[in-house]
Amino acid sequence: MSSVIFKTHADYLPKVVQNATYALNGRPKNLAPGDTILIAQTRQSLPRGEKQIHYRMTFVGAELDKDGKTDRIFGRHWRYIIVAEALKELRLPFDISDIVNPSKNYEQGGSFVYVARRDEAALQECGHFDTVDNA
């Protein structure tokens, strides 16, 4: 299993959390069912002192939005809807920069970025994947 960080603006975050859904214009090529999605609020929309990542969910699949589901959920249209399950609040919200010596720059890139295996292991070791309900 692997992990990916999906970046979202504060305006869309409540809908992402409420629906365990994300939307993109391109389909992520390296995601497989069961992979972990970390939801990160974009730095530009983040209140000072707040951590970026508060939630995780499990990837189920990506569907072409043929019937306007993204419009109904988010108020605008994206080509793909990312279907997930088991959305959970993290016990220890974090910024990806909390990792000592991350193996890559996670700030760059578009709407999502894959987490390097070494960094994923460091996050798990520090308890950053643990959820409020301990599941």
> pTM of the full predicted structure?
0.91
Quick one: the chain helix, strand, coil %, rounded to 5? 20, 35, 45
In the block, which residue shows the tokens 């760059």? 108
Q: CA angle, 87 as apex, 43 and 14 as ends, to 5°?
A: 50
Question: Is the separation of the CB atoms in 73 and 21 below 8 Å?
Answer: yes
Domains annotated for the chain, with CATH where assigned, are 3-101+110-125 (3.10.590.10)
Nearest to 83 by CA among 23, 29, 40, 25: 23
Nearest to 86 by CA among 43, 41, 129, 25: 129
Tens-level pLDDT at each residue, the chain (135 residues): 799 999 999 999 999 999 999 999 998 888 999 999 999 999 888 888 899 999 999 999 999 999 999 999 999 999 999 999 999 999 999 998 777 677 777 777 688 989 999 889 888 888 889 999 865
